[in-house]
Structure 1
Amino acid sequence: MTEVTDTQSTGAKHADPSRSSEQDLRALFGQSLAVFAAFEGPEHRIRSSNPAFSAVLGVPGAAVGSPLAESLPGSAGRELIAALDRVQRTGEPETGRDVRIVLGEGAHAREAYFDFGYEPRRDAGGAVTGVRLIGVETTQIKHAQRLTAEQRALLEQIARQAPLAEVLDGMARCIEDLAPQEVSVSVLLADPDGRHLRHGAAPSLPDFYNEAIDGIATGEGVGSCGTAAHRREPVIVTDIGTDPFWDDFRGLAERAGVAACWSTPILARDGSLLGTFAMYHRVPRTPQESDLALARLFADTASLAIERHHIEQAKAAAEAHAEAARVELAEAMRAEQKLRAEAEQRAAAAAELAARMRTAAAAQAATPHPERCQLGGADGCTAPAEIKVADSWGDAAWGCSAHVEEAIFNVRSAFIAGEEHGGLAAYLDR
């Protein structure tokens, strides 16, 4: 069956975060109950007990008058009965701190811890007739201490910017150790567009299972996690074998040996999706309020780790972009300096050429031209030199108007042959 109550989703969206956290802690670590029982004789027959003794230790009220060993057999009551034996024998009171007792059997077995006080009961003559037991279960206190220590360690990892995979893996293992029943924890991370979920951590699930669900879409009816991510609220599937959300994944779940999956979305402070946090069980199971509180607490821790990771990623990307821009600017400045140097070289060469041209022009102006035409060839010409002509090879000559016209015509048409012997020089040497 799939259960998502309005109170779960409303509380996640509108409750004061500090108050919600306090409520979760109360659900996880409510007040421990005091137990009382009076025993008679060396067999420690139960004379009387309060309801908490029967409820916590699993000793039915009908067991009054029977030896404690019959009601609490095996290793569960061994240390307790040994302490009762000592007090019965010596008449000296005792105390026991964090006495470990395994209650129940098989899948229902749980580890419990108690602080016990043992007082001898005496008759009118002072002889010990039995033992009075007063105790307080300290299991929740020990779990609270472990939870506090584990969360502090996780927060320290986040603060020192440990890799996200390391933080999530440690968190998953912590929950698997803290949970009273066997559980496998999975954390999936949302893609930036929120449409797919990627593997984050799942130390106790088979590799083939993690690979198969890596990249699953978010959407209604896509298992527990895909649906929780789509709805932005917890999705509790108590029996994978019959739940329609798991129609496409039922065979995979059977291979992995999981029969129940409770998924909680991991949300950022602005409500955007960061991922999902899931608790898998080997048998169909309905969560207790303490289970849901544990899921909410660690979903909040995961949110902090993932948001910190995203911030560091954005910071690294910005630094990389800034470095790339700095390198590009440096390259542009080097190119600009090179172009400026080349331009300065060209300007200097142009200035030198202009100076040489001015010098050559001055030299030409200072040289008087001949009185007679130089273009008459071997026969010579006695006409006055009136016009100066030059060609592209730098050769120049003075001539009369008739020979200048003839030179221009012939040099342009017949005597442009080669740089070795052409142009005006060829005309002059004809």
Structure 2
Amino acid sequence: MQAARDKRPAGPDEDLPALFGQSTAVFAALAGPTHLLQAANPAFFATIGEERARTGVALAELMPELAGQGFIALLDDVYRTGRPYTGRNVRVVLGDGPGAREAYFDFTYEPHRDSANTTTGILVIGVETTQIKHAQQLMAEHRALLEQIARQAPLAEVLDGMARSIEDLTPQEVLVSVLLADADGRHLRHGAAPSLPDFYNEAIDGIATGEGVGSCGTAAHRREPVIVTDITTDPFWAEFNDLAARADLAACWSTPILARDGALLGTFAMYHRTPRVPQDTDLALARVFASTAALAIERHHIEQARAAAEARAEAARDELAEAVRTEQVLRAEAEQRAAAAAELAARMRAAAAAQAATSRPDRCQLGGTRGCTDPAEIKIADSWGDAAWGCPAHVEEAILNVRTAFIASEELGGLAAYLGR
């Protein structure tokens, strides 16, 4: 079955040993000044490549790549002087061409002497530290990512840096992708994928979560890792086979990124150019960095929620301030209307007093201190018994502002006649 599931998530106590691995000791016995390989343990041949597993041949002939790296010269010096040599965490490139690989060793060249104390060969004893070296580098990058998260670096920057660090430090070529879940958990959006082609990232941006929807859609749906070792034969990838072929992708291992409460945050995927089955170190690496991505995404969500709350609070403060300003304007207008009404009422009382000796004046009595030269056409009165004659404009102003004022001109038909004029 191509799509495998890791049913029991490992905890940190399991992941770190898996990342740092177990060291394997290598041993080889070399004879004579040409360093003829007399014997070696299986770990030595596994390290240099089983296709080179033979004895009775000079080491420089068996492993020609060593000469250019100075190791044969070191053997010559130990053989000549009889003094042992010890190297710590020494880098060596094994093989050549596309099959070459970088490795690190702690090793000792120990001279072998005969009964006359003459050096007759060299014993090579070493421990490969490649996995430890790579794991230490990865953990250093991991600490740097945690520092980025702590100082609230942008999420895109954290995820992109995480993807690049994994791609740079893993021994085999890997292309990392992080997809982010929508709020409803039904779709996955592009988060980071620095080495995948743009057309691929665009095509899977917004992919649905669900059973059989590639590695990532299925991992998001199941809330557990989905390991597809060969995209060309796996039914989960039937819909995306052509897309994967265009992007030169042959395997995809996807791990869901989950919040502390189990909510889906996204997926962390590792793509490969050739079909490949993950090792324990690969799965441990995916879990460690999926957990780191979860921390970064959760922090991002918290910051987004905080910013949104602050924006709402600011909007509420602005609305309150606007309401206060509006209330102040309305209060000022009301006060102005009240003052105008009082002034008009005063005008009416003054006009009533002035017309006590005459039945109808010639000019408008409602102009106040400023006066009004328009003809007096309409008589108004209020409930207090005060009455005055005024022009249509001042009469209308009085009626609108003095609630007790009404048309009192009987010959004009009262208020109904005025409104229908």
Q: Give the conservation status (yes or no) of the 8 Å contact 1:53–1:59.
A: no
Give runs of aligned pairs for residues 362-373 of structure 1, distance below 5 A. none
Which of 168, 171, 174 is the equivalent residue of 1:180?
Answer: 171
Change (3 A) 1:161 1:335: same
Q: Give the conservation status (yes or no) of the 8 Å contact 1:25–1:293.
A: yes
Q: Deviations over 1:21-54 (max 9, x none)?
A: 1211111112312222221101112233334333
Cα distance in 1, alignment partners of residues 39 and 389 from structure 2: 138
Which of 222, 230, 237 is the equivalent residue of 1:239?
Answer: 230
Whichever residue aligns with residue 168 of structure 2, its letter is D
Change (3 A) 1:391 1:33: closer
Cα distance in 1, alignment partners of residues 389 and 158 from structure 2: 89
Which of 379, 385, 396 is the equivalent residue of 1:392?
Answer: 379
Is 1:89 aligned to residue 76 of structure 2? Answer: no
Cα distance in 2, alignment partners of residues 132 and 353 from structure 1: 120
Is 1:132 aligned to residue 119 of structure 2? Answer: no
Report SS of the residue matched to 2:379: coil
Cα distance in 1, alignment partners of residues 53 and 277 from structure 2: 30
Give runs of aligned pairs for residues 330-369 of structure 1, distance below 5 A. 330-361=321-352
Q: CA deviation at 1:338?
A: 0.4
Once the two structures are overlaid, the 10-residue window that deviates more, 127-136 or 164-173, is 127-136
Which of 132, 135, 139 is the equivalent residue of 1:141?
Answer: 132
Cα distance in 2, alignment partners of residues 180 and 51 from structure 1: 22
Cα distance in 2, alignment partners of residues 160 and 87 from structure 1: 52
RMSD: 2.7
Which of 103, 106, 111 is the equivalent residue of 2:94?
Answer: 103
Q: Give the conservation status (yes or no) of the 8 Å contact 2:149–2:299.
A: yes
Corresponding position of 1:4: 4
Runs of 5+ consecutive residues of structure 2 not aligned to the other structure: 360-376, 381-387, 391-408
Cα distance in 1, alignment partners of residues 331 and 305 from structure 2: 38
Once the two structures are overlaid, the 10-residue window that deviates more, 216-225 or 109-118, is 109-118
Corresponding position of 2:393: none
Give runs of aligned pairs for residues 1-400 of structure 1, distance below 5 A. 1-5=1-5, 8-9=6-7, 11-12=8-9, 20-58=11-49, 63-75=54-66, 78-104=69-95, 109-361=100-352, 392=379, 394=388
Whichever residue aligns with residue 253 of structure 1, its letter is A
Change (3 A) 1:253 1:350: same
Report SS of the residue matched to 1:392: strand
Q: Give the conservation status (yes or no) of the 8 Å contact 2:351–2:389.
A: no
Report SS of the residue matched to 2:177: strand
Q: CA deviation at 1:101?
A: 2.2
Q: CA deviation at 1:344?
A: 1.2
Cα distance in 2, alignment partners of residues 105 and 248 from structure 1: 38
Q: CA deviation at 1:60?
A: 7.7
Change (3 A) 1:303 1:369: closer
Report SS of the residue matched to 1:63: coil
- Aligned positions, number: 373
Larger radius of gyration: 1
Q: CA deviation at 1:169?
A: 0.7
Cα distance in 1, alignment partners of residues 163 and 67 from structure 2: 29
Change (3 A) 1:340 1:82: same
Q: CA deviation at 1:316?
A: 0.8
Q: Give the conservation status (yes or no) of the 8 Å contact 1:59–1:72.
A: no
Q: Give the conservation status (yes or no) of the 8 Å contact 1:45–1:65.
A: yes
Work out the percentage of aligned pairs sharing the same amino acid.
Answer: 72
Change (3 A) 1:126 1:330: same
Change (3 A) 1:412 1:339: closer
Task: Calculate the TM-score normalised by the size of structure 1.
Answer: 0.80
Cα distance in 2, alignment partners of residues 323 and 23 from structure 1: 47
Whichever residue aligns with residue 183 of structure 1, its letter is V
Report SS of the residue matched to 1:247: helix
Once the two structures are overlaid, the 10-residue window that deviates more, 90-99 or 290-299, is 90-99
Report SS of the residue matched to 2:112: strand
Change (3 A) 1:76 1:202: farther
Q: Deviations over 1:46-70 (max 9, x none)?
A: 2333343333333689633332234
Whichever residue aligns with residue 248 of structure 2, its letter is G
Change (3 A) 1:204 1:61: closer
Change (3 A) 1:116 1:395: closer
Q: Deviations over 1:285-340 (max 9, x none)?
A: 11111111111111111111111111111111111111111111111110000001
Report SS of the residue matched to 2:171: coil
Cα distance in 1, alignment partners of residues 389 and 293 from structure 2: 91
